[in-house]
Structure 1
């Protein structure tokens, strides 16, 4: 199996400015993410940066990097440009590893790529794991996903889904069985679809939920979902998250 990992990196972040360059154990976070992703079976790992500082930091640590435009509205647009810069072909597979996941599981990256390769009628793949606490189910920042019988996404939501008939009676203090699934923000794409995706018109559901992946379902495409038995490592969105990552990595 041959695939490329792309790691989008934007210098400015509302909650954690200059996040890609944040120091974690003596290395910029973006370098830690790339090195972690390189432990997967990827043929190459490339950072798609929007700033020369990120490019310089990557090159200083022998991490492949391309400089993309600064005006991309979404990470998908940035990845599409990176595919063009790298000369990737339409039938090739890329996995989008977020630039704030320094503890990403390399096996999860492999699983996402392998699933997409095995599902020729799906232009995208992603991952999920079982929610084990009611707090996560209630949390709108925890995105939930429901699947069909072939483990393809039916819907993503910030609301607690699926919802069982007597859920309100329990006050969301217990979970339904089987357990609801938390979406993991890791995506596999066929390059041809990734280039076309930013051209698809945004849809009402995407705008309501603020979830870009709903655009894929709205326009009739399928997303294959790998259900992981392992909870992924924590991402870094805030200063508190950064402190936690530093403590875990040491």
Structure 2
């Protein structure tokens, strides 16, 4: 199996300004992400940036980066442009590693790519892990996913799903069984679908939940889900997240 890792990086961030360049142990965060991705089985790792400052920071640390347009609505749109610039074939597998996941496990990247390679019925694959904490289950910043019998995503939501009938009566003192799944923002695509993605109309559900993967399900396509036995390291969305990751990497 051969695949590429593309890392979308956008300089503007409302909750954490210039997030890709946030300093962690003297190195920009996006460089940490790229270095972790190079420990996977990927044949190439490329940062797709919207600003020259990100490209310059990557090049300083020996990371391959390319400048993409600064008006893309989503990270997937940015990667579609990167696929075209790299000349990838429609059948090539691309793994989208978010630029705010400096603790991403290389084995999880490999698992996501391998799953898509095995699933001709799906245009994408992603990852999840079991939730065992009540606060995590009710947190709207934690995206949940429910799957069908074949391990394909039925729905993604910020809400507490799946929800059992007597949940409110129990005061959410316990979790549903089987255990709910936390979605991990890691995606594998075939390059042909990734190029097609920007042509799909946005879905109302995507707008409501602010989850672009719902566009895929809205248009009748399927997403395979790898359920990891281990919990991935925390990502960085807020200054508090950044402090936590800095402490872990100190």
Corresponding residue for residue 21 of structure 1 = 21
RMSD: 0.7
SS of the aligned residue for 2:169 comes to: helix
Corresponding residue for residue 38 of structure 1 = 38
Corresponding residue for residue 193 of structure 2 = 193
The alpha carbon displacement at 1:144 in A equals 0.7
Return the alpha-carbon distance in structure 1 between the equivalents of residues 44 and 209 of structure 2. 33
Return the alpha-carbon distance in structure 2 between the equivalents of residues 16 and 218 of structure 1. 30
Corresponding residue for residue 69 of structure 1 = 69
How many residues are aligned here?
250
Corresponding residue for residue 147 of structure 1 = 147
Alignment of 1:1-250 (within 5 A): 1-250=1-250
CA deviations on 1:111-163 (whole Å, 9 max, x unpaired) are 00000000012110000000111111111111111000110000111111111
SS of the aligned residue for 1:142 comes to: coil
Return the alpha-carbon distance in structure 1 between the equivalents of residues 30 and 79 of structure 2. 16
Return the alpha-carbon distance in structure 1 between the equivalents of residues 160 and 115 of structure 2. 26
Return the alpha-carbon distance in structure 1 between the equivalents of residues 17 and 93 of structure 2. 31
The alpha carbon displacement at 1:26 in A equals 1.2
SS of the aligned residue for 1:206 comes to: helix
CA deviations on 1:190-244 (whole Å, 9 max, x unpaired) are 0000010111011111112111111111111000000001101001111111111
Unaligned segments of structure 2, at least 5 residues: none
CA deviations on 1:5-25 (whole Å, 9 max, x unpaired) are 000001111111111111111
Return the alpha-carbon distance in structure 2 between the equivalents of residues 25 and 206 of structure 1. 36
Return the alpha-carbon distance in structure 2 between the equivalents of residues 95 and 51 of structure 1. 21
After the TM superposition, which parts of structure 1 deviate over 3 Å for at least 4 consecutive aligned residues? none
Unaligned segments of structure 1, at least 5 residues: none
Question: TM-score normalized by structure 2?
Answer: 0.98
Question: TM-score normalized by structure 1?
Answer: 0.98
